[in-house]
Amino acid sequence: MFRRWRPKRHYDCWVRPRDWVIIAIILVAVGAGIVWSTLRVLPRQVALPVPTQNLKLGDCIQEWWGEDVLPPRVKRARCDDPHFGEVFAVLTVPETQDYPGEEALSRFGENCSHKLFDYAPDLPDGPVFRVAVGYPRADAWANGQRSVVCAAISKGERWSSIRA
Query: For 94-135, what is each residue's pLDDT tens digit?
Result: 877 788 888 888 888 888 888 888 888 877 555 578 889 998
How many alpha carbons fall within 13 Å on the CB side of residue 88? 29
pLDDT, position 135 = 87
Q: From CA 79, how far away is CA 60, in angstroms rounded? A: 5
The answer, yes or no, to whether residue 25 has pLDDT greater than 90, is yes
How many alpha carbons fall within 13 Å on the CB side of residue 79? 16
CA–chain centroid gap for 73, Å, is 15
pTM higher than 0.85, yes or no? Answer: no
The residues spanned by each domain of the chain are 12-46, 49-158
pLDDT, position 123 = 75
